[in-house]
Structure 1
Amino acid sequence: MRWTHAGRGRESRGHMKSSLVIFLISFTNLNLLKIYPKDALLFIAASFVNSTGKAIMWPLTTLYVHNIMGKSYGEAGLIVLYQALCSVIGEIVGGNLYYRLGPKLLIAGSFILSASALYGIAFTDSWPAYILCVCLLGFVNGIALPSLNAYVGFRWKEHRRTLYNLMYVCNNFGLSIGAMVGGLIASISFTLTYTFTGTTTLLFAIFLLFFMRVRGGAASNSHPHSSQKTDKKSTVAEEKNPFIMEEAHLDRKSLLKNISIYLFISLGAMFFWFSFSLWSTGIAPYINEKGMDLKFYSLLWTINGFVILFGQPFTAWIKSRFAQTIVRQMFVSAIFSAMAFSFILFFHEQYIYLVLGMILATIGEMLLLPTIPTFFSERTGHYAPFYMGLSGGFSNVGRMIGPLMFGNVYDLWGIIPVIFLGTMSSFAALVMFYIHSNLNKNEEPVHGLSLRAETLGK
C-alpha cells in the first residue's frame, strides 16, 4: 500500500501542475531572457529536458512494473530504490568524469545513454533487462546534473546566480510538462511513452554534440572577487589562450579532507530532501485516508508551483534583508522548512493548515536549491564539479531513504510520527546549515586547480 500511495502522489502532482504550463507560457515575458547569452539558454534547455525526462519516469515506473511487467507494488518500490541508488552513484561519478571528459562529451554522452535506456525499457519484456535499463537510466541522469551545474558556473560566471535560479524555475516547469505528457501518452501506450522520450532525448544529445561550445571564459577563475585581484594582462592572456594553464592532478583524498567546504552543506541537503519527501509519502496517504479527494493533494502542488513562479520578489526581499550571503541564505531557507513542518506537526487536522505549511516549505525550497551550485561554483573554483557530484549524492540519499522510512512509519503508526520524523529531519538540516555558515564566513575561493587543457574543447 505504501508504494501505491507514493506512485499516486507523484502522478497527481504531475497532472495538477499541468494547469501551470499554459499559465506560464501566457504570462512570462520572454524578453527577459534576452539578457542571457544564447549558449547559456541552450544549457537551461538541457536542464529542462533532463527534468522533463525524470518527471515522465516518476509516475510511470510503479504503474509500468505492476500493470505491464506483472510484478507486485513491493517489487515496484524496490525498482524505485535501485534507480535512486544508481542516481547517487551517477552524481558522484559525473563530478569526477567532468575533469577527464569535459562537459560536452559528458553531458551529450549521458543523454545518448539515457535515450538507449529508454528504448531498452520500451522494447523489452525481460524483467532482468528492465531492471538493468532502469538502473542505467538513473545512473546517467545522475551523471548529467553536476556537469550541467558546473558548466554554468564556469562558463557564465557573471550570470551564474541568476542562471541557477532560472534553471531551478525551468526544472520545475519541466516537472510539470513531463508528468503531464507522460500521463497523457501512457493512457495510449506505455511503449509509446518511453519511445517518445527516448527519441527526443537522443535528438537533443545530437544537437548538443554539434552546437555546444566551450570557450576560454570557461577556463578562467570562477570567483568574481579573485578575478578582480588578478593582473589584467594575465587575465587577458588567459582569455585569449586558455591552454596556458598548467595541468593539475585531481587529488581526491585531499579534497575529501576539506570537510568544512562540503560535508555540512551536503548533510543539510540530505536532511532537507528527506523531510521534503514527507509530502509524497506522508501527506498524500493521510489526505486519502481522511476520505478527501486526491485533487486536494494535487492542489498542494499547484500552490507549490504558483509560489515558485510568483514568489520570486518575496524571496529576493528576504535575501536582501536577512540573507545577504549565500551561506546565510541556506540557513534562512532551513528556518522556513523547520517552521513549515513544525506548523503541520501541531496543525494538520484542517486542510488549510497543510496549505500554509506547503507555502512555508516552498519558500524554504526556493531559497535553498539555487544556492548550493552557486556556493560550490563561487567558493571551490574548478573543484566545483567534484563537490557538486558529492553533494548531489548526499541529496539523492535523502530522496531515496525518505519515502522508504516514511512509508513504513505511516503503515505502522500513522501520520503524527511521520510528521514528527520529518520535523526532526528539518531541524537536523537547520543545524547542518548553521554549522556550514559559521565555517564558511570567509568568501575566499579555493585556488590552485584548473581543468586539463585538452578537456576544454570536449
Structure 2
Amino acid sequence: MLKKRQSISLKWLLLGVLITNTAMSFIWPLNTIYIHETLHKSLVIAASVLFLNQLATMLGSLIGGKLFDSWSPYYSILLGIVLNIFALGGLIFFHAWPAYALLLILSGLANGISVTCENSLATRVGNHRSSYVFNLLYFASNFGLVFGTLTVGYIMPLGIGYVFAIATIIQVLFLVVAVINYNIQFNQTMGDRKQGIKKEKLTPKILGALIMVLICWLIYEQWQSNLSTFMVEKGFKVKNYSFLWTFNAILIVLFQPVVTHFDELLLKHIRGRLNIGILLLLASFALLLLPFKDNYGLYVTSMCLLTLGEILLFPGVASFVDIESPRSLTGYYQGRVQMFSALGKAIGPLFGALIIDNSNYEFLFLICILMALFALVIFSWPVFSKKI
C-alpha cells in the first residue's frame, strides 16, 4: 500500500511534466503533415482534426478540474495518463483514417485531464510558492518539447509506428512515476469546503485573466501556424522558420530561470508582470509591420520579444488565478485556465487563416496588435468591480 502524502515533491512533479511533454512533442509536429501527406486529406480536414483535438483538451480540463476537487487528485491524474496510453498505444496499430483522428482526439481529452491535474498539484508542492512552481513547470514543459521535437526527426524515417510506440513507452514511464509519487490526499475542513462551494464562480478578476489568456494564445498561435507561410512567401526557407523555434527554446532555457529567481518580486507585482507580457507580445507583431520584411534579423528580434512575453505571461496567469481562488477549488480554477488556453489555441490558426484569405498578413498583424490592447484593457477593467 503506497503511503498517502499531504504534499507532492517538486522534483517528481517536474519529472512528470518533462516526461509527458516529451511524449506529446513526438506527436504534434507530425499531425498536419501526416494527415495531409500520408493520409491524403485536405489541409481543411487536418485543421479540423486539430481543432477537435483542442476542444477535447478543453473538455478534459473541465473534467480533470472537477475530479481533482471532488474525487481524488491521485486517481484523477492516473485516469488521464491511462487514457493517453490507450490512445497513443492504439495509434501504433491503427494510424489509418479515421482511427488516427479519433485516437488523436481521445489523446487531447486525456492530456487535458493530466495537465489540469499537474497544474493543480503545483499549488500543493511543499515548501515552495505556487508561482515559483508554475515557472519551473513552464521551463520543464518547454524543455520536454525541445527534446521531443529534436528526437522525432531521427525516429520518423523508421516508420510512424515507432514514433507512437516510443511516445506510448514514455507515457508508461510517466504512469510509473505518478503511481509511486503522486499519491497525495488533502485534509479539507468543512469550513474550507463551504468556502469553496460559495466561491465556485468566476469573479471579475479571474474572468478578466481568463479572457486575456484566451486572446493572447490566439495571437501567439499565429506564430505557430500562419507565420511559416508568410516567411516562405518573403523568400525564406522552412529551416529559417524552424530555427526561430530553436531560438525560442534557447531563450526559454536561459531566461525562465532568471524569472524564477525573481519570483518573489514578480509575485508582488503580478499584474505588472502580466501587463508587460502582453505588451511584449504586442511589440513582436508591431515589428512585423515595419518595411524590412526581407531582413531575417527582424524575425529573430520579433521572436525574442514574443518569447520574453510568453515567459512572463503564461506561467503568470496560473499564479494569478491561484492567488485569487480558494484552495479547496484549485482544480476548478486551474481547469478553467487550461480550458481558455486550449480555446485560444483551437481558434487561433483558423482565425488567422480567415483574415489572410480575405485580406493580407499585414492586416492580420494589425488585428493582433489591437487584440493585445483589448486583452490589456479586459485584464485591467475587473480591478474596479467586486461582483459580476
The answer to whether the Cα contact below 8 Å between 2:12 and 2:181 also exists between their aligned partners in 1 is no
Deviations 1:332-387 (Å, cap 9, x if unpaired)?
21122222222322355132222222111211111112212222333312222101
Which of 363, 368, 376 aligns to 2:308? It is: 363
Aligned partners of 1:313 and 1:120: how far apart in 2? 38
Q: What displacement does 1:50 show?
A: 2.2
Query: What residue in structure 2 maps to residue 306 of structure 1?
Result: 250
Please give the alpha-carbon distance, in whole angstroms, between the structure 2 residues aligned to 1:102 and 1:140. 16
Shift of residue 38, structure 1, vs aligned partner: 8.3
Among all aligned residue pairs of Structure 1 and Structure 2, give the percentage whose two residues are the same amino acid: 24
Q: Which residue of 2 aligns with 1:326?
A: 270
Q: CA, structure 1 residues 127+322, in 2 after alignment: closer, same or farther (shift >3 Å)?
A: closer
Give the SS at the match of 1:353: helix
CA distance in 2, matches of 1:323, 1:418: 33
The residue that corresponds to 1:23 in the other structure is none
8 Å Cα contact 2:135/2:260 also seen in 1: no
Output the amino acid matched with 1:204.
F
Q: Which runs of structure 1 show a deviation greater than 4 angstroms over 4 or more consecutive aligned residues?
A: 243-247, 249-254, 312-323, 436-440
Paired position in structure 1 for 2:332? 386
CA shift for structure 1 position 325: 2.0
Equivalence for 2:356: 410
Q: Distance in 2 between matches of 1:248 and 1:315?
A: 34
Give the counterpart of 2:15 among 21, 32, 45: 45
Q: Which residue of structure 2 aligns with residue 270 of structure 1? A: 214
Question: C-alpha separation between the residues in 1 aligned to 2:210 and 2:26?
Answer: 27
Provide the alpha-carbon RMSD of the alignment: 2.7
SS of the residue corresponding to residue 166 of structure 2 reads helix
Contact 2:77 2:117 in 1 (8 A): yes
- Structure 1: state its 5+ residue gaps: 1-36, 220-241, 441-458
- Secondary structure of 1:277's aligned partner: helix
Contact 1:345 1:423 (C-alpha < 8 Å) held by counterparts:
no
- 3-state SS of the aligned residue for 2:251? helix
Check if 1:373 corresponds to 2:307: no
Structure 1 residues 367 and 436, CA gap change in structure 2 (3 angstroms): farther
Asked if 1:115 corresponds to 2:85, the answer is yes
> What is the count of residue pairs matched by the alignment?
378
In the other structure, the counterpart of 1:208 is 178
CA contact (8 A) 2:77 2:118 kept: yes
Residue aligned with 2:29, SS = helix
Cα 1:292–1:77 change in 2 (3 A) is: same
Task: Give 1:51 shift.
Answer: 1.7
Equivalent position SS for 2:235: coil
1:401 aligns with 2:371: no
Q: How many Å separate the matches in 2 of 1:68 and 1:123?
A: 15
TM-score of the two chains, using structure 2 as the length reference:
0.88
**1:83 is the counterpart of 2:53:** yes
Alignment correspondent of 2:3: none
Q: Deviations over 1:227-277 (max 9, x none)?
A: xxxxxxxxxxxxxxx366568369779623x43142110010011011111
Residue 99 (1) aligns with residue 99 (2): no
CA distance in 2, matches of 1:341, 1:424: 10
Which of 19, 42, 59 is the matching residue for 2:29? 59
Distance 2:226 2:36 in 1: 22
Q: Which structure has the bigger radius of gyration? A: 1
C-alpha distance in structure 1 between counterparts of 2:265 and 2:182, whole Å: 39
**C-alpha distance in structure 2 between counterparts of 1:347 and 1:136, whole Å:** 44
- 1:143 is the counterpart of 2:89: no
Q: Label 1:203 to 1:330 Cα distance change in 2 as closer, same or farther (>3 A).
A: same
Counterpart AA for 1:105: Y
Residues 89, 168 of structure 2: 8 Å contact kept: yes
Q: 1:60·1:182 contact (CA, 8 Å) conserved in 2?
A: no
Q: Which of residues 169, 172, 195 in structure 1 aligns to 2:139?
A: 169
> Distance in 2 between the 1:267 and 1:329 partners?
17
After superposition, the C-alpha distances for 1:375-431 in whole angstroms (9 at most, x for unaligned) are 233331222210111122111111111111212322443321221222222222222
Q: Select which of 360, 368, 379 maps to 1:422.
A: 368
**1:148: Cα distance to partner?**
0.7
Cα distance in 2 for partners of 1:107, 1:213 equals 10
